């Protein structure tokens, strides 16, 4: 099944997250039932990423944004694992440095955009500059409002240069977030994920929802649409993300490049070496 149409935010639409069910899991009844499809999908991603690397005519940028504990790291672990590390780079954009603050907000982003033949994953991205800065009032309203247009122009330019952009907003319910916080507290192996900001940011839930809705409404474009991934079920989140990545790679219509050597001459050398043992 192709989840692009079902989970895409239509360009120009007004988003209300309250109308989206974070517990949606499509026609799949359970994790166990979905696993065979996920395995097949990841295997096909591996094959097509190798083609992407060889052909070097396209690039793929995967953008991950989401409410705390929604599973951005989980997508990296369970979906991006299908990618060959030699052609993949994961970047997390957190609080900017003094040098980065001395430039426009997209300066640090552009340097990490994947080149042709490469896959780039942004685990948090340029969208932090219309989310965190808005919620915490780090810049005036007129500054972050102008950034929507700048982001759309930036992404349109990337697509014209051969970069396909897949943007995932991982959406969980407030109740599911608290349950995941509890599991972190109860499991010593997960306690390293606990942050001082977990509950202070949770207190701003409504403000973040408003900021996410504006982000989705203003920046889902024909060139780079947003997909809202219902993420209460981790297995469905991974399945839907891998499905959309696979269909995006398929749409590139890639072909293996022609060899750069004389195959007949190389074959003759092979047969000669074979005779010599």
In this structure, are strands 163-171 and 226-230 parallel, antiparallel, or unpaired? parallel
State residue 152's pLDDT score: 98
- Eight-state DSSP code of residue 122: E
Per-residue pLDDT at 277: 66
Which string of b and e fits 227-241 if b means at least 16 CB within 10 Å?
Answer: bbbbbbbbbbbbbbb
Q: What is the pLDDT along the chain (277 residues), one digit of tens a residue?
A: 789 999 999 999 999 999 999 999 988 888 998 999 999 999 999 999 999 999 999 999 999 999 999 999 999 999 999 999 999 999 999 899 999 999 999 999 999 999 999 999 999 999 999 999 999 999 999 999 999 999 999 999 999 999 999 999 999 999 999 999 999 999 998 888 888 889 999 999 999 999 999 999 999 999 999 999 999 999 999 999 999 999 999 999 999 888 888 888 889 887 888 888 6
- Cβ proximity of 163 and 60 under 8 Å: yes
On whether the CB atoms of residues 229 and 239 are closer than 8 A, the answer is no
The rounded distance, in Å, linking the Cα atoms of 178 and 174 is: 6
119-123: strand order across its sheet: 88-91, 119-123, 59-66, 163-171, 226-230
Q: Which residues contact 163 (CB under 8 A, 6 or more apart)?
A: 58, 59, 60, 61, 113, 114
Element (H, E) at 200: helix 197-202
Q: Report pLDDT for 163.
A: 98
What DSSP string runs through 134-197? HHTT-S-HHHHHHHHHHHHHHHHHHHHTTEEEEEEEEE--HHHHHHHHHHHHH-GGGGGG--TH
| Residue 150 to residue 236: CA distance in whole angstroms | 33
Neighbours of 180 (CB within 10 A): 20
What sign does the dihedral 203-207-209-212 (CA atoms) show? negative
Q: Write down the pLDDT at residue 219.
A: 98
Question: d(Cα 75, Cα 250) in Å, to the nearest integer?
Answer: 20
Whose tokens are 């969208």? That residue is 127
CA distance 122 to 154: 15
State the pLDDT at residue 29.
83
- Are 75 and 168 in contact by the 8 Å Cβ rule? The answer is yes
What does the DSSP 8-state code read for residue 210? H
b/e per residue, 97-129, with b = 16+ CB within 10 A?
eeeeeeeebbebbeebbbeebbbbbbbbbbbbb
Phi, psi of 207 (to 5 degrees): -65, -40
How much is the pLDDT for 272? 83
Whole-number pLDDT of residue 109: 98
CA count, 13 A, side-chain hemisphere, 220: 22
């Amino acid at each position: 099944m192709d989840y692009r149409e079902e989970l895409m935010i239509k360009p120009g639409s007004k988003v209300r997250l309250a109308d989206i069910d974070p517990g949606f899991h499509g026609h799949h009844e359970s994790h166990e039932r979905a696993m065979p499809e996920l395995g097949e999908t990841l295997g096909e991603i591996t094959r097509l990423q190798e083609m992407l690397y060889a052909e070097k005519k396209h690039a793929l940028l995967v953008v991950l944004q989401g409410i705390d504990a929604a599973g951005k790291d989980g997508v990296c672990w369970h979906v991006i694992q299908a990618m060959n590390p030699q052609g993949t780079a994961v970047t997390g954009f957190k609080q900017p440095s003094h040098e980065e603050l001395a430039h426009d907000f997209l300066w640090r982003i552009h340097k990490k955009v994947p080149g042709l033949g490469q896959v780039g994953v942004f685990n948090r991205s340029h969208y932090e500059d219309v989310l965190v800065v808005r919620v915490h009032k780090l810049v005036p309203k007129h500054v972050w409002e102008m950034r929507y247009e700048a982001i759309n122009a930036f992404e349109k330019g990337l697509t014209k240069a051969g970069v396909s952009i897949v943007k995932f907003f991982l959406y969980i319910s407030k109740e599911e977030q608290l349950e995941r916080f509890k599991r972190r507290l109860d499991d010593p192996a997960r306690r390293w994920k606990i942050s001082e900001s977990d509950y202070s940011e949770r207190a701003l839930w409504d403000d973040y929802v408003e900021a996410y809705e504006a982000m989705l409404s203003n920046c889902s474009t024909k060139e780079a649409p947003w997909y809202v991934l219902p993420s209460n079920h981790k297995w469905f989140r991974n399945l839907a993300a891998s499905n959309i990545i696979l269909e995006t790679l398929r749409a590139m219509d890639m072909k293996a490049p022609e060899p750069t050597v004389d195959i007949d001459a190389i074959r003759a050398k092979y047969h000669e070496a074979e005779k010599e043992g």
